[in-house]
Structure 1
Amino acid sequence: MHKAIRLASAALGVLATPALAQTGSVAQAPVATGPVSDALEIDAARQGVLIFEPAFFADQRPNTALDMINRLPGFSLSTGDSSTRGLAGATGNVLINGQRPSSKSDSVDDVLRRIPAAGVERVELIRGGAPGIDMQGAAVVANVVLVRTVTVERVIEGGLYAYPDGYLGPTLGASYSRREGDDQIEGAISATINDRTDGTATGFRRRYSPTGALIQNADLDLWDEYRNVRATGVIQRGLAGGRLRINGVLGWFGNDNTQDLLIRTGPGTDNFNRETSEEIEGELGLTWTRDLDTRSAFELTALQRWGEEDYRGDTLSAGEESVFSSSSTSGESIVRGVLRHRPSDPWAIETGGEVAYNALDSTNAYEENGVAVPLPSASVKVEELRGEIFGQTTWRPDPTLTLEFGIRVEVSGISQSGDSDRSKSFVYPKPRVQATWTPWAGHQFRVRAEREVGQLDFDDFVASTDIEVGQVEGGNPDLEPDKTTLIEALYERRFWDEGVVDATVQHARVEDVVDLIPLAGGFDGVGNIGDGSFSTLRLRLTLPLDRLGLSGARLFGRTTWARSEVTDPLTGDKRRFDGDQAFGCELNFNQDLAGGKWSWGFEHGCNVDKGRAFRVREVRAFHEEPIMEAFVQWKPSDDLTLRLDVGNVTDRDQGYDRFIYAGPRDVSPVAFTETRRTNASRWVYLQARKTF
């Protein structure tokens, strides 16, 4: 741990040197040559940046910047992953005025939802990189450029979920925003009261002998309910020749769910499971940016997050009771600095560093009939100090070609105290090379090679439970992150103004694959199982249907084939990664009518295979029928939107098949198989949005 601290301090020293040695604005957001009102004409100029002005979205009458982003042809919004430690990769693939949102808890879709469409000057679609733009590893990024005139918006939203059994779940929300040039103030509050997920369902659990004979038939009755309250605030003002942005988030989340299992035929006893959890989270972030000269800028971000969670799971069966309880606090502190410089129009250089401290203090307990049962790593405090330095260069030698070279070097130290006292240090270089070639109008090729390093999940260091099937997992202090060497190639073709088709091929080698392994005491736990590989082929199509007779209609389709291979640590056989799907697909349709006054559509997930999980004494094959949802929307006026969503239209089944072995599955036969299927009800959601 001390070694990691010294290395992290050195990283900060490297960061500080170039920041002080150079003087000089981050390059303005790229503006492609050609008419800004026609994306295809811009692409005809062989630029990697397409520009979409408000006129492009006029037929959809968008309310917010999020509505505009969701209509960009050939772009899929990624909101990032707030559970990622550090800021890199946590904020998605959308920029606001060339900068990423400075919050992790306030997701990018929520940020976009608070920006009125009238406040957007244009949206830039940056494909494959552009000088002066921080892509953070994404192949495609959307940049929302805001108008600099005064825009003020007040919004009140209300909604109501309704279910066939008469259960109602109301939602409420209100927000205010004001922008003038670089000055900005925002505030929002939302609440969900007694809503449900697909955890409310009915179904069955059936067990079969190895010969296929039914040995037990049981009914399942599942119920769940969640509630949350969330408040966000943002203020941005000029300070010390630059801009200071302060954002804060405070939220509470509560969840309750139960499972009744009633034996109808065969041996066994009824049981009842109940889980309750409460979580509080908070965040405070500050970002200061300053132009050093017309071609250089500096950005400094500080972020503090805090969370607290309490959980309890009870199982009652035949007069016996087992209880798993957990209490944890977590925190994250981040300081990140970035220096950007444009020595000339074709070149952009970015360098900087980040230091982050993360901690999880968790205490877990498990007891049966009031008697405590020891768990591996039941009470553990996990701490990590990470330092990362990075640098990248983007070069556009001519309008047809963009090259990006970058490297990140991560230094981290993880220590554990409590039931397990040990520490580890890691140093991982993560190089990246990407080339983007646009040889003809509407055609683009992208090739990427990158070294990626996964992050360890702190929850895997401590014990946990799967109360649904009555299993407890131990914590494992001997984890290492997986390391992936990835090669990717993509071809994109744009046609018919809004039409896009692309094909992506990936191949990767993975070291130290993370999966489940046996632990002491007969428990399963997360661990490393060796090296593996995976390959994927993805095809996507965005098809405007105007030329086919459906005015204002668009169809989006995606199919993905995947193949992975790793050696099973028990049997020695080759198999897929845990949870890996061999095939996935989706189909979305929407149509705008009467100039955007009416719109309707549906989305359909057409894959069933959800992969398998491999435990020491069990193989679990997941099952989920295709999901389908539909909506209709009416805008009687510019300041009022009414929308009706219908969920679970196909009344789908989901569940899994468990193959339970008499002992470790490498040396024991199958004792029985278990089939579980549940069916959640359909639901409707009526919502109204009023602006002032």
Structure 2
Amino acid sequence: MIPRIPGRSMLLAAAAVLPCAGGLAAPAAAQDAPAAPEPEAGTAATAPSGASATTRSTFLPADFARFAPRSAFDMARNVPGFSIQEGDGARGLGQADTNVLINGRRISGKSNGPTEALRRIPLEDVVRLELVDGASLGIGGLTGQVLNVVTSASGRVSGQFRYNPEFRTFGTPARLFQGSIALAGGGTKNEWNLALRNDSNRRGNEGPEEVFDGSGMLVALRDEKLNVDTDRFGLSGSFTRNADNGAILNLTGQVQGYLFREREISLQRPPGGTLDRTRSLRRTEDEFNYEIGADYEFGFGPGRLKLIGYHRYEDSPFTNTVLTTFTDGTPVTETRFVQDADEGETILRSEYSVGAGGGNLVAAVEGARNHLEIVSALSARDAAGVLQPVDLAGSSARVDEDRVDAGLTWSRALAANLQLQLSAGGEYSRISQSGPFGLTRSFWRPKGFAALDWKVTPNLNLAGRIERVVGQLDFFDFIASVDLDQDRADASNADLRPEQSWLYDVEASWRMGALGNLTVSAYLEDLVDVVDQIPLPGGGQAPGNLPSARLYGIEGQTTLLSDGLGWKGTRVDLTLGWNESSVRDPLLGFLRQVSGNELFTLEFRVRHDVPNSDWAFGTRGDWTKNVRNVRLDEISLNQPSFAQMFAFLENKDVAGMTVRARVGNLLGQRDRFERTVFTDRAAGIAAFSERRDRRFGTIVSFDIEGSF
């Protein structure tokens, strides 16, 4: 299952793919113009026809050589002042929602997105990396700095592997099965790559939880231990073919399995007393999903036509069980929630690009069909110890959406240093839900944007954008569900409407030569029909629409290089983010923060590569201040103590491999959670509150990377 991201996916927050501590490297310098040798005729492509990409900086593989990269991803994540943005779950394929291109072209995938694609491209196939102005590319949705990775098949089959074991000082088993192996090959007219990968996690924590009654008196103590084991394993790949007539075929695919196991034991007692009950929580998920994408671009009339197809399917059986035993002989209590969710998305899209009005015009039409079908059952143990069904109205249903959108995007250079991009269009959608609360509705939504990229000086770029955005509903919000761990219930709400917003964002990027790079960006988003918890007319609560909300924030990201100061080999990365929001609480009527946002983020990375050696060392850390989550009867906060900090030591030539050792949680960060549950939140009457403080120990991990 894909979790819902509250509000918009923060433009300046969690979309960035952060490099691991071992990858905190930077090229010594970058060229300010695309002076790199051109790739051989064949697979490497340029910007779309009719567009003239404006390049800010160019990096060659040699610029990254001292860091022993194995793939395009190893280089892309170390471009100074740049962070990879994964897709934000936007509707359909639509306009680009990532800031990475490969050979001037978007990646026709979602979960199989830019990070996975770059990981599969070996070092030998990378010609150069270009930071370009997004608005100059003629690709809708791109503004500010965009990374274009230019590749050309080396003509031989090559491979790379990674193995990443991890150990914790207590509480969790070792992570022994995380790793990947990738193969790539091709010739002058084609490229292909395959990757087998397992993303594995062994997480856990333990510690006390205190429970207070409505008056604030301590009424219970709990000693708790949590273990969460996950494995996401799969095979992904892509194939590109360039025909002699200029036609280009791209195929991408991915098949995955996902195993999730959560176990929590809670030993509970009254203050000053002995153990009187043991609560056991179990959650499992056995997911299977696959994704396939294809696009074919060819000359048609005066322009070029691109046909795109995409399909994704996911099956997610899920169970949640809570069982409590008592020391005084009280009968065992047990509650179980079982859910099987089938999701699917099919998209067909066409784009026609042609020179017009001194620039490039793209006409696009897209059709999509999405569905979610859920079968759920809630049961509880009776006095005889037999699980009996409990009614949960609206918990089994199917949600379907049929959608068509169309738009025109026009890009042109207003001057040698000024790029304009305009887009206008709209979408029609029909959403239907089956079951006792079924409803069918239709929506018409206008959309579009205006964007500018201005190269003020050779080293300073400004970019701005105004956009009308239509949000993507999470179909899980339509269907009734329960969280047995926190004793929460959401009723069915078939009347959900997609969010709409006006989004304004600006970005300034300053290249400081040998000293590094500084990027500052800011955004403001005014939303209508924002999704939050609302009271339902028949009682209960569920995700629903509030009239409006506002989100705004600023982020600064800098990369500082010591080489320009005469000290070779050190790089410092620093990111600061501040976000604010406001929405009117549906119960009390006052303005509050939007649930689930981050107020403040701080991330830093320091890496030093010892000159004339294979050794490197460094550190990284992060700290985040979170916003409280608000429900009609509950206010909660998930806020770890202070900061997380890691240190690493690396050798780049151990029998031809890179070996890296990391030690994490050097500051002893703890997982903290608190919540207050209300009998009547409007009157300020609390039923009880909980306060949790758990440790998870020191983390020791290793990276072993090689090529063949």
Range class of TM-score, shorter chain: 0.7 to 0.9
Q: Is the 8 A contact 2:285 2:318 kept in 1?
A: yes
Which of 585, 606, 612 is equivalent to 2:628?
612
AA in 1 matched with 2:640: E
Q: CA deviation at 1:496?
A: 3.1
Aligned residue number for residue 305 of structure 2 = 298
Q: CA deviation at 1:210?
A: 4.8
Aligned residue number for residue 334 of structure 2 = 321
AA in 2 matched with 1:253: Y
Per-residue Cα deviation, 1:352-393 (whole angstroms, up to 9, x for no partner)? 111111111101111222332222421110111111112211
Q: 1:655 to 1:337 in 2, by over 3 A?
A: same
Q: Is the 8 A contact 2:293 2:311 kept in 1?
A: yes
Q: CA deviation at 1:498?
A: 5.2
- Taking the aligned partners of 1:73 and 1:33, their CA distance within structure 2 comes to 16
Q: 1:363 to 1:303 in 2, by over 3 A?
A: same
Q: Secondary structure at the match of 2:115?
A: helix
Q: CA deviation at 1:584?
A: 1.9
Q: CA deviation at 1:414?
A: 0.8
Aligned residue number for residue 330 of structure 1 = 343
Aligned residue number for residue 370 of structure 2 = 358
Which of 349, 352, 356 is equivalent to 1:339?
352
Which of 98, 102, 106 is equivalent to 1:100?
106
- Taking the aligned partners of 2:260 and 2:698, their CA distance within structure 1 comes to 21
Aligned residue number for residue 234 of structure 2 = 230
Q: Is the 8 A contact 2:223 2:266 kept in 1?
A: yes
Q: CA deviation at 1:128?
A: 4.2
Q: Secondary structure at the match of 1:112?
A: helix
- Taking the aligned partners of 2:567 and 2:495, their CA distance within structure 1 comes to 58
Query: Please, which runs of 5 or more residues in structure 1 have no aligned partner?
Result: 1-30, 38-45
Aligned residue number for residue 16 of structure 1 = none
AA in 2 matched with 1:496: G
Is the deviation greater in 501-510 or in 564-573?
Answer: 501-510
- Taking the aligned partners of 1:149 and 1:615, their CA distance within structure 2 comes to 56
Which of 106, 112, 116 is equivalent to 2:122?
116
Q: Is the 8 A contact 1:64 1:117 kept in 2?
A: yes
- Taking the aligned partners of 1:84 and 1:377, their CA distance within structure 2 comes to 27
Aligned residue number for residue 592 of structure 2 = 575
Q: 1:397 to 1:48 in 2, by over 3 A?
A: farther
Q: CA deviation at 1:33?
A: 5.6
Number of corresponding residues: 645
Tell whether 2:696 aligns with 1:680.
Answer: yes
Q: CA deviation at 1:129?
A: 1.9
Tell whether 2:150 aligns with 1:145.
Answer: yes
Q: Is the 8 A contact 1:313 1:323 kept in 2?
A: yes
- Taking the aligned partners of 1:521 and 1:627, their CA distance within structure 2 comes to 45
- Taking the aligned partners of 1:341 and 1:487, their CA distance within structure 2 comes to 28
- How high is the sequence identity, in percent, across the aligned residues? 26
- Taking the aligned partners of 1:541 and 1:493, their CA distance within structure 2 comes to 9
Q: 1:410 to 1:140 in 2, by over 3 A?
A: farther
Q: CA deviation at 1:228?
A: 3.3
Q: Secondary structure at the match of 1:599?
A: strand
- Taking the aligned partners of 1:145 and 1:34, their CA distance within structure 2 comes to 11
Per-residue Cα deviation, 1:456-498 (whole angstroms, up to 9, x for no partner)? 0011111233333222322321111221112222322221335
Query: Please, which runs of 5 or more residues in structure 2 have no aligned partner?
Result: 1-30, 38-52, 326-331, 382-386
Q: Is the 8 A contact 1:91 1:107 kept in 2?
A: no
AA in 2 matched with 1:156: F
Question: What does 1:361-372 correspond to in 2, within 5 Å?
Answer: 361-369=373-381, 370-372=387-389
Which of 427, 441, 446 is equivalent to 1:410?
427
Question: What does 1:375-390 correspond to in 2, within 5 Å?
Answer: 375-390=392-407
Tell whether 2:513 aligns with 1:496.
Answer: yes
Q: 1:333 to 1:91 in 2, by over 3 A?
A: same
Q: CA deviation at 1:575?
A: 0.7
Q: Is the 8 A contact 2:153 2:185 kept in 1?
A: no
- Taking the aligned partners of 2:244 and 2:389, their CA distance within structure 1 comes to 59
Q: Is the 8 A contact 2:269 2:277 kept in 1?
A: no
- Taking the aligned partners of 1:394 and 1:638, their CA distance within structure 2 comes to 50
- Taking the aligned partners of 2:684 and 2:663, their CA distance within structure 1 comes to 47
Tell whether 2:264 aligns with 1:259.
Answer: yes
Is the deviation greater in 457-466 or in 151-160?
Answer: 151-160
Aligned residue number for residue 689 of structure 1 = 705
Tell whether 2:599 aligns with 1:599.
Answer: no
AA in 2 matched with 1:333: T
CA RMSD of aligned residues (A): 2.6
Q: 1:481 to 1:629 in 2, by over 3 A?
A: farther
Q: 1:324 to 1:138 in 2, by over 3 A?
A: farther
AA in 2 matched with 1:455: Q
Is the deviation greater in 645-654 or in 569-578?
Answer: 645-654
Q: CA deviation at 1:332?
A: 1.2
AA in 2 matched with 1:101: I
Tell whether 2:145 aligns with 1:129.
Answer: no
Is the deviation greater in 327-336 or in 489-498?
Answer: 489-498
Is the deviation greater in 587-596 or in 170-179?
Answer: 587-596
